[in-house]
Structure 1
Amino acid sequence: GDEDTLLFVFMAHLFVENNDDNIGFHDIDDIFDDNEIPSWVKREFRTRESELFEKELIENVNEDGMARSDAFKLTDKAKEELLCELNINEVGKSVNGLIKAETLAEKNLIYNTSECNQITELSSILSENRFNEVQNRLRSVGMRPGFCCIFYGAPGTGKTETVYQLARQTGRDIMRVDVDKIKSCWVGESEKNIKALFDRYRNICKNSKLAPILLFNEADAVLGVRMEGAAKAVDKMENSIQNIILQEMETLEGIMIATTNLTTNLDKAFERRFLYKIRFDKPSVESRAKIWQTMLPDLSEHDAQTLASQFDLSGGEIENIARKHSVNAILKGNDSIDVQEIINSCRHERLSQNNCPKIGF
């Protein structure tokens, strides 16, 4: 029915825009006017009676071999058949565990001046010819040829997306590491996982014309200050993982970029090993106005300036509000910009942010 079609379009939108393969009922809330999901939607999704399951367009998220009844994703069939027909590029298509550079969609990111200059310089250094030159110079003076960078700062400031855009610009694939997935409940397994990961990265570098980027995403858990005299098994494991990463950074031949929301608690041993450190601050008023106009092109310059001045939001938060507005516009069949409605969304975003801290993308 129409409702199923709308739900699928919305879930496809979340996948294409966010690479979101873990969609919960709280995400689906956004498409209903009163922010209350009708009970029939929850029932049909929980019992798998929805047409979307019958047509193999969506499936439950699988965690440790168990299907979750409250989290859903598009099936591979839906991604391959329907999204290809719509000519929508899958964001970051993975082949053999590597996110291929040519599948990364171009995204216009807006930075503050200091970040912009550093990222432009980094993009130039990571280009094929320049990077070979930099590595040769480092070797000639007896320095480590590995190139380690850290992007740190507030959630929603575009750290991870910047890595994707750098990869796209320089033609480098990405080997993405989500630290939480590496940690195993079996003591000793996490250390093996980390060592195996660096071994695999080394082999890929040897067999690739261009070294891929090793991305440690949201690496707060392993970049924080190490525990002195750690007694608990979990603390010992984290210290052990940190020591392995520190050793591997010493012998790294390729490119490692870590992203973290930590701004003050970074371990000094890690800080020394990162050649490039780029701090991502919340956007300035001028940058916020540009982000508003990029996200909502029909917004007048005056309204964009008003929103930017009144609300100190990150780029991720502005994008979230713009998305909600776009979905509501589709539902109401009205493309006109209601600035007061956007202001209300900004106030709501700020309240929810204060009540429940968000993790950055």
Structure 2
Amino acid sequence: MRTKGGGPAGASRSRDGAQEGVNDEREPQFVPEKPRRSLDEVILPDAVRQRVELALDLVEHHTLLYDIWNLRSIDPYRRGTALNLYGPSGTGKSLCAEALAHRLGRPVINVDYAQIESKYVGETPKNIVRCFEVAREHGAVLVFDEADSILGSRLSRVSQSADHAVNVSRAVMLRQLDRFDGLVVFTTNFPRNYDAAFVRRILAHVRFELPDPETLHRLWQRLLPEALPRETGLDQGALAQESAGLAGGDLVNVITGAAAAAARRGGESGVVTAADLVAEIKNARRARAEVGRAPDPGMPADYTVRRLDSREVPPELRAPAVVEAEGAESPDAVTAEGAEPPDTAAPPAPAGSAGEAEA
């Protein structure tokens, strides 16, 4: 009898598996990797670096703190250490998480939401357990990027099976954190989305901030490769002043864009100039202002989009009738191009219809 799918037996098993709904997805591979960056390579403001070093002390001196100095008497259930690195995008959170593993001399396992989330019932909790098992087996540091997707609030009103599955996954993550005796690092741009139970289990929260002028200067010194052709006398201090408000990740994009412009020119003029860098800095700043939206601290964690008031829209982008109406004695007489006066207009849509759809 032939097997391995090349004959009747293999084909039969394949058909049976399809009919029985066997999970045909490949199991996620949580692969320990050697950290490539050291903590010395991470350029951070002094205040942030001090908090990172303190968080590292909690890991390196765990035995002293809990066993010899008996902090276990007031914190008896903590076995490992969980850290949370949060703050604006591009400020070095993921890079720092890798560097922490490098300092500890351990491999790192990077986990994202797509790796553990599964469409099959019960598979997501299994994937969570699996990534902790692999980390325990290899003595690796677990890093969860975009952790707000994994540590989000549990649902108090369970109305369908998907809601129940979310709560089960959160409960499994909580148990694994309690049982894991290694280091787990979470990174996020949206810390307000965390469930309170996870916040309590995380031993140290480190806020990453946009670089100050001195840090920007050091970033420019570090990020410009020696092999990159550039005009002589490039003033990195002036570049630091020009790029105020940008993050290290933005500077990487700035340098890459300027290098591409130099490559396009080619020849003797194919060097990165201050003009190239300033142009890309302006593009990066414009993108931060116009593309995407950072969460407003005053808004609920699950609502970060709002409709603009008409007065916030530049005149050149508004309908002509709206602009004309601003100078009229009765600004409510015309509210949009082609709209009827209030007394004849159609009644407003009930709250929660159009507004919510647009949001």
Q: TM-score, normalised by structure 2?
A: 0.63
Specify the alignment match of 2:103 in structure 1: 169
Q: Which region of structure 1 is more displaced relative to structure 2, 299-308 or 341-350?
A: 299-308
Q: Which structure is higher in strand share?
A: 1
User: What is the one-letter code of the residue matched to 1:146?
Assistant: G
Per-residue Cα deviation, 1:264-306 (whole angstroms, up to 9, x for no partner): 2322111100001101112223322322232237641442233
Specify the alignment match of 1:38 in structure 2: none
1:216 partnered with 2:144: yes
Per-residue Cα deviation, 1:64-117 (whole angstroms, up to 9, x for no partner): 79xxxxxxxxxxxxxxxxxxxxxxxxxxxxx9810124xx14472221222110
Task: Describe the shift of the 1:350–1:335 C-alpha distance in structure 2 as closer, same or farther (beyond 3 A).
Answer: same
Secondary structure in structure 2 of the residue aligned to 1:186: coil
Q: Which region of structure 1 is more displaced relative to structure 2, 247-256 or 272-281?
A: 247-256
Specify the alignment match of 1:72 in structure 2: none
Residue of 167, 184, 187 corresponding to 1:239: 167
Specify the alignment match of 1:30 in structure 2: none
RMSD of aligned C-alpha atoms?
Answer: 2.8
Specify the alignment match of 1:328 in structure 2: 261
Specify the alignment match of 2:131 in structure 1: 197
Q: Matches of 2:43 and 2:55 in 1, distance apart? A: 16
Unaligned runs of 5+ in 2: 1-24, 295-359
Secondary structure in structure 1 of the residue aligned to 2:43: coil
Cα contact 1:139–1:145 (8 A) shared by 2: no
Residue-pair matches, total: 255
1:227 partnered with 2:152: no
Residue of 248, 256, 281 corresponding to 1:315: 248
Cα contact 2:59–2:81 (8 A) shared by 1: no
Q: Matches of 2:84 and 2:99 in 1, distance apart? A: 15
Q: Matches of 1:317 and 1:153 in 2, distance apart? A: 14
1:133 partnered with 2:48: no
Secondary structure in structure 1 of the residue aligned to 2:109: strand
Secondary structure in structure 2 of the residue aligned to 1:100: coil
User: What is the one-letter code of the residue matched to 2:217?
Assistant: A
Q: Matches of 1:131 and 1:190 in 2, distance apart? A: 31
Task: Describe the shift of the 1:237–1:282 C-alpha distance in structure 2 as closer, same or farther (beyond 3 A).
Answer: farther
Q: Matches of 1:241 and 1:290 in 2, distance apart? A: 42
Cα contact 1:151–1:279 (8 A) shared by 2: yes
Specify the alignment match of 2:93 in structure 1: 159
Distance apart, 1:170 and its partner CA: 1.8
Q: Matches of 1:158 and 1:145 in 2, distance apart? A: 27
Cα contact 2:110–2:143 (8 A) shared by 1: yes
Cα contact 1:135–1:146 (8 A) shared by 2: no
User: What is the one-letter code of the residue matched to 2:51?
Assistant: Q
Determine what percentage of the aligned residue pairs are the same residue.
25
Cα contact 2:220–2:236 (8 A) shared by 1: no
Task: Describe the shift of the 1:155–1:234 C-alpha distance in structure 2 as closer, same or farther (beyond 3 A).
Answer: farther
Cα contact 1:289–1:307 (8 A) shared by 2: no
Task: Spell out the pairing of 1:1-361 with structure 2 (5 A cutoff).
Answer: 97-101=31-35, 104-106=36-38, 108-127=41-60, 130-137=61-68, 140-141=72-73, 142-202=76-136, 204=137, 211-296=139-224, 299-309=234-244, 312-331=245-264, 332-333=266-267, 334=269, 336-357=271-292
Unaligned runs of 5+ in 1: 1-63, 66-94
Q: Matches of 1:302 and 1:175 in 2, distance apart? A: 37
Secondary structure in structure 1 of the residue aligned to 2:255: helix
Per-residue Cα deviation, 1:188-218 (whole angstroms, up to 9, x for no partner): 211221123223333x1xxx5xx32111121
Specify the alignment match of 1:39 in structure 2: none
Q: Matches of 2:287 and 2:82 in 1, distance apart? A: 35
User: What is the one-letter code of the residue matched to 2:150?
Assistant: V
Q: Which structure is higher in helix share?
A: 1
Secondary structure in structure 2 of the residue aligned to 1:214: strand
Per-residue Cα deviation, 1:123-155 (whole angstroms, up to 9, x for no partner): 34444xx34434534675234121111111111
Secondary structure in structure 1 of the residue aligned to 2:100: helix
Cα contact 1:321–1:345 (8 A) shared by 2: yes
Task: Describe the shift of the 1:230–1:286 C-alpha distance in structure 2 as closer, same or farther (beyond 3 A).
Answer: farther
Secondary structure in structure 2 of the residue aligned to 1:98: coil
Secondary structure in structure 2 of the residue aligned to 1:231: coil
Q: Which region of structure 1 is more displaced relative to structure 2, 323-332 or 172-181?
A: 323-332
Q: Matches of 1:193 and 1:247 in 2, distance apart? A: 14
User: What is the one-letter code of the residue matched to 1:195?
Assistant: V
Cα contact 2:148–2:193 (8 A) shared by 1: no
Q: Which region of structure 1 is more displaced relative to structure 2, 182-191 or 117-126?
A: 117-126
Q: Matches of 1:320 and 1:154 in 2, distance apart? A: 16
Q: Which region of structure 1 is more displaced relative to structure 2, 285-294 or 261-270?
A: 285-294
User: What is the one-letter code of the residue matched to 1:162?
Assistant: C
User: What is the one-letter code of the residue matched to 2:110?
Assistant: R
Cα contact 1:149–1:274 (8 A) shared by 2: yes
Task: Describe the shift of the 1:233–1:348 C-alpha distance in structure 2 as closer, same or farther (beyond 3 A).
Answer: farther
